[in-house]
Amino acid sequence: MRAEFKIQDGWFFMSEHLIQPDHQDFVFDPMSSDFDRDPYPILANLREHEPVYWWPQARGWFLTRHDDIVSVLADEDRFSPNEVHWEYFIEPAEEVRNHPVLRIRDSSILSVEGAQHARIRKLAFKALSRRAVRTIQPLMTSLIEEVMAPLRGRRECDFVTEIASPYPIGVISRLLGIPGNSDREMRFKKLADAVVVAFNPMIDEATQLRSIHLMEGYLAEIAEWMEEKRRKPTDDLMSHLVQVEHEGDRFNTDEILSLISALLVAGAETTANSLSFGMLELLRHPDQMKRFKEDPSCRFNAAYEMVRYEMPGRFLRRYAKKDTDIRGKKVRAGQAVYISVASAQRDPLFMPDCDQFDITREPRDLSAFGIGRHFCIGAQLARLEIEIALGHFLASFEDIRLACSFEDVPFRSNPVIRGPASIPLLFESVA
């Protein structure tokens, strides 16, 4: 059989199979529009033929098998999330080295290690769980009603821009105690946009610097507000963060600003995209939609299945701290290792029917939210947000359908996050 090559959006396809990764014509581009829409055939190809793939354009290893991913994420002695260990790490320029925003970014829970990380995480958990037990559920319910209010009486909406994007950032903002529809809430949303860019090493330096300068003003306002809470605490996450104490230890101002930034980086866009993917997959699978609507008890696990089945993150990054070996490949100290959690969730060796979307599935593990010491601290929160937002939306509107074909749903182009840019819906309001 003769293989015929076709080039489409930068990808090479053969008539019968995807080109194997060891072929000279193989091109791997997880930023391409095909990958945005459906990364899973490419990931399956790598998983099968080259699970520890040298990705030349990114100068690092790309991992796709579940067991390799688990062992790298669990091993902080060999692999670090902190980019100072990267062989291509560039020290920030002299004039910005002591910039307060860089200080905050570099001491983020997402990248610090060892005792420093354990300490921040302990305090963060304590502050979050105080708030969590008491008031999260009613807060989420009233917020989704508020976000949906402008849709009443209408017969169409864009699910991404009107529901999925504003909701998770609203949850973080209300948790912190920021009053709804306030000037402070509007400025907090602007901080969220800036912080995602400023914390992203894959975005060009000039854009990052602009965002760092923008963040400075917003963070100064939050620091002022933090002082108000120190003087007069109330029952909200910001007050808990300033008060929380563990064995005589407390957060300082920079650490609280850093943690709030990390919650925004890790918790807003991820959950927004999972909500969007969740809605799309329910529409694509009417039997699952029926089950989700009829059986509220399945919704918390369903939320995990939505995250597992369509991962919003492209990959996690780790840097080798010493020379090591992964599946026979020599990984040098200083090299980057890109970890495809999306691929791990679709590894048939981990889960034989992994390509099936089944909201009644008991999660086998929660590795879509990471592994080891950096396991997501917002995992339960995210699942609850998805359960509540989709549950309320589907109960408030009926005859919900896509206003375009699935193939025409546009995807966003973002170097870190994957998800639909817009989901145009048609529906009738429930009387």
Interface contacts to ligand HEM, rule CB under 6 A: 73, 81, 109-110, 121, 172, 262-263, 266-267, 270-271, 274, 307, 312, 316, 341, 368-370, 374, 376-378, 381-382
Nearer to ligand HEM by Cβ, of 21 and 378: the residue is: 378
Nearer to ligand HEM by Cβ, of 211 and 367: the residue is: 367
Of 263, 184, 189, nearest to 225 by C-alpha is 184
Token pair listed for 181: 């529809």
DSSP state for residue 363 in the 8-state scheme: P
Nearer to ligand HEM by Cβ, of 314 and 392: the residue is: 314
Question: Closest distance between ligand HEM and the C-beta of residue 109, in Å?
Answer: 5
Question: Closest distance between ligand HEM and the C-beta of residue 28, in Å?
Answer: 21
Token pair listed for 127: 């502050």
Question: Closest distance between ligand HEM and the C-beta of residue 12, in Å?
Answer: 30
Nearer to ligand HEM by Cβ, of 381 and 394: the residue is: 381
CA distance 116 to 257: 16
Question: Closest distance between ligand HEM and the C-beta of residue 268, in Å?
Answer: 7
H-helix or E-strand spanning residue 239: helix 237-243
H-helix or E-strand spanning residue 13: strand 11-13
Of 80, 33, 39, nearest to 317 by C-alpha is 80
With a CB cutoff of 8 Å and minimum separation 6, the contacts of 295 are none
Residue-wise burial string across 135-153, b where 16 or more C-beta atoms lie within 10 A, e elsewhere: ebeebbeebbeebbeebee
Question: Closest distance between ligand HEM and the C-beta of residue 75, in Å?
Answer: 12
CA distance 163 to 95: 41
Question: Closest distance between ligand HEM and the C-beta of residue 345, in Å?
Answer: 10
Nearer to ligand HEM by Cβ, of 178 and 382: the residue is: 382
Question: Closest distance between ligand HEM and the C-beta of residue 372, in Å?
Answer: 7
Amino acid letter for position 389:
A
Backbone torsion region of residue 15, taken as left when φ is above 0, otherwise alpha when ψ lies between -120 and 50, otherwise beta:
alpha
Of 417, 411, 350, nearest to 38 by C-alpha is 411
Backbone torsion region of residue 89, taken as left when φ is above 0, otherwise alpha when ψ lies between -120 and 50, otherwise beta:
beta
Nearer to ligand HEM by Cβ, of 110 and 421: the residue is: 110
Nearer to ligand HEM by Cβ, of 44 and 263: the residue is: 263
CB-closest chain residue to ligand HEM: 378
Question: Closest distance between ligand HEM and the C-beta of residue 171, in Å?
Answer: 7
Nearer to ligand HEM by Cβ, of 23 and 190: the residue is: 190
Backbone torsion region of residue 153, taken as left when φ is above 0, otherwise alpha when ψ lies between -120 and 50, otherwise beta:
left
